[in-house]
Amino acid sequence: MRIPILMPQLGESIAEATLMRLDVKPGDAVLGDQEIMEVETQKATMGVTIPCGGTVEELVCVIGESYPVGTVLGYLIVTEEEAIRAGIKPHDDAPPAPTEKPDALSPAPATAPVEDDLAGLHFKIDAAQSMSPGASPGVQPTLTGLPVPVNAAGAHYISPRLRARMQEIGLNAADLSAVAGSGAGGRVTVEDFEAFMADLEQHRTTPASPMRIAVADSMRRSWTRPLATVGIRVNLDPLLAHRKQQPPDLKAGPALYALRALAIALSENTAVAGRLVGKRIVHPQAIDLGFAVEVEDGVLVPVIRNVETKHLALLVSLYNDLVQRARSRKLPPDARGPGIATITNFGTFGILWATPIPLPEQNLVLGLGAGQKAPIWDPVSHSFQPQTQADLTLSFDHRVLDGGGAGRLLSRVAELMSKPETL
């Protein structure tokens, strides 16, 4: 009897594999569980075995081509005894359907279960969905008129060989996000990659600065985690009134008030600033906080050590000095290196609300939006009173912190900012 050689399911997330080596040819005798070919997936290279012994009748696969799971790669001629031993039974061996209508009072005849000749797979392939030998489905757009086709098959796959080539020229998967793979299962083929690189040569390009490359790499690594953002509106009037009462050399900006408030809040519960490593939360040894400073073509984050132990008045001159040093790219060694959280004042650009991304080694980033006057109902005077408000946002690693914990931390920061004399 004749049975197909199928591309097996090689892993839960594996949709297709590339044929790298064939160890047999038509006419060869093979044994059960013998490895007859080697395939490469996006994760590893592995061998493919056959379910039972027999003779290779035909091979309909080509080395270097990719085939989805369930694709027919060839055919074996096996004896019926060998097929039964391997649990393979052809469809035409099923009992024929009854030709006579059974009596309504008589019991229905028992029907033997029909076994599928694809029973060796982890899931079954509908015959209507199976691929003909050598077929390679391309990307079929589900929407038209878009600059990048929408791949109905979902995310694309990149083979280990193509990844190695990308690493040689300094590219990563994010650089190919605009490429819709034409290979099986949306796989980005070598041809897709070469066409993409050739198209780049037709565009005007400028070299990215080392700063921009460093920021891009940092954000790419940050985005490997599940990030979330919560926000709250704070009243800035107490803070602004307190600031007016200070001498010129001790006037702190709103971001420094937020920095000090966050340090106190984190010192009360260091777990919320911890990092998840394996199955443990690693608590910080000190409340070292960074603050974002815009520099040419990027952002630097100077770090102030042990902020929870320094009163606001002691932080002003240190903060202002580090801002100037950052802009001149001359940060001292103790202001470089990791902190446990960062403050970013995007309100200086007129931005009201944003979702900043924490640095890879950090769990938290606190953002402060632009202040605006708004009418707020005063229950004492039973009237609307003007109030300067700003949105405070907290972006965090959702593996470490949930919405409730993030909300409580943000509320505590807002509470401390409303009592600036305690900072």
What are 269-311's pLDDT values in tens digits? 888 888 888 888 888 888 999 999 988 878 889 999 999 999 9
What are 332-359's pLDDT values in tens digits? 888 887 889 999 999 989 999 999 999 8
Q: Over 70: is that where the pLDDT of 380 sits?
A: yes
Residue range(s) defining the domain that contains residue 280 = 223-422
CATH of the domain at 412: 3.30.559.10
Q: Specify if 217 maps to a domain.
A: no
Q: Are residues 287 and 229 in the same domain?
A: yes
Q: Over 60: is that where the pLDDT of 254 sits?
A: yes
288-307: burial string, b at 16+ Cβ within 10 Å, e else: bbbbbbbeeebebbbbbeeb
Helix (H), strand (E) at residue 295: strand 293-295
Q: Specify if 218 maps to a domain.
A: no
> Are residues 238 and 420 in contact, defined by beta-carbon separation less than 8 angstroms?
yes
What does the DSSP 8-state code read for residue 121?
Answer: S
pLDDT confidence of residue 260: 95
Number of separate domains in the chain: 3
pLDDT confidence of residue 329: 81
pLDDT confidence of residue 14: 67
- For residues 258 and 360, which has the higher predicted lDDT (pLDDT)? 258
Give me 233's structure tokens: 């509106």
- For residues 64 and 12, which has the higher predicted lDDT (pLDDT)? 64
> Are residues 52 and 86 in contact, defined by beta-carbon separation less than 8 angstroms?
yes
pLDDT confidence of residue 410: 94
d(CA 310, CA 137): 64
Q: Are residues 120 and 144 in the same domain?
A: no
pLDDT confidence of residue 122: 38
- Number of helices (H), then strands (E), in the chain: 8, 19
Q: Specify if 333 maps to a domain.
A: yes
Mean of pLDDT values over 240-244: 92
Mean of pLDDT values over 121-133: 43
Question: Tokens 């509470």 correspond to what residue?
Answer: 415
Residue 210, number of CB atoms within 10 A of its CB:
10
> Are residues 93 and 84 in contact, defined by beta-carbon separation less than 8 angstroms?
no
Percentage with pLDDT > 70 across the chain:
81
Give me 356's structure tokens: 């900043």
Q: Are residues 251 and 396 in the same domain?
A: yes
Give me 418's structure tokens: 């409303």
What are 165-194's pLDDT values in tens digits? 888 877 877 777 777 777 766 677 778 888
Q: Are residues 83 and 200 in the same domain?
A: no
Q: Specify if 285 maps to a domain.
A: yes
Mean of pLDDT values over 118-143: 43
Mean of pLDDT values over 24-48: 83
Helix (H), strand (E) at residue 266: helix 254-268
Question: Tokens 């059974």 correspond to what residue?
Answer: 102
Q: How many CA atoms lie within 13 A of 76 on its CB side?
A: 25
